[in-house]
Amino acid sequence: MRHARLFVLGTCLVALACDKDPARSVKIIARPPAAVTYAAAPPVAAVQAPDSPAPRASETPVRLSGAAAANTPKGVASQPEAAAPAVATDWRPPGCPPSPETSSGPSSLAVAGPCAFEHRSAVACEALADDFLVTVSRKAADGVALMVFINVEHYKGPGDYTGAQMFVGVQDKKNIYRWSSDTVKITVAGGEESVTLPATPLDAEPLLVNCTGPMTNFQCEGLGEAKAFEGTIEIVSGTLRCEKK
């Protein structure tokens, strides 16, 4: 398992309890090593990919499909066919892609990757102490919840920031798939009317299994395996305009 870091928004894994709604602060902890197991975690065969192992991100270039593949710049190195990953490139998390919105604006966020979509509607924005929070909540297929969350930490008003935290996540009846980064470059517009970010990759977190609660305050029994999910990325870019207060 890669040594990337995992967003935890009030997450309660085995034997831990939630204290409060974490919307005011996004905490980050190191991912546990591969040897760590969770005694309370049930089998996760339902989300297992084929037995063939997924390529490590450091060994094999990430292969995008759909909108992500179509938008890959020319000149980007590609993997020779003989060494192509064994995992199918058409894998999608539950509920993805979500149905298109009927709105034509004012936002213009594009997301490419396993869960590709565009977001056009205005979004919830809130400045709390030294945080500026942006939240997008949508329904995907089969009752799956889709969320985009941004936390501009050490917020001091409109301007450019380089260490914002962001995740894109989907949650089905029991599991949570999320892609995240804590080094997002972002611009908060004057009057806190919008946020804009350049093309930014978000890495897959470990799969969270047997979860309850929304993605901003959830409890999960442990970490699972989904080899087709590991090593994937979502690429986000564009502008989210805040709802008028």
Higher pLDDT among residues 7 and 137, named by residue: 137
Contact (CB, 8 A) for 149 and 216: yes
Bridge partner list, 197 = 238
pLDDT confidence band for 200 (50 / 70 / 90): very high
pLDDT confidence band for 164 (50 / 70 / 90): very high
DSSP summary character for residue 234: E
* Cα torsion angle, 18, 19, 21, 24, sign: negative
Higher pLDDT among residues 202 and 74, named by residue: 202
Judged against a pLDDT cut of 60, whether residue 196 lies above it is answered with yes
pLDDT confidence band for 172 (50 / 70 / 90): very high
Contact (CB, 8 A) for 151 and 126: no
Bridge pairing between strands 159-171 and 145-152: antiparallel
**pLDDT exceeding 90 applies to what percent of the chain?**
55
Bridge partner list, 168 = 148, 179
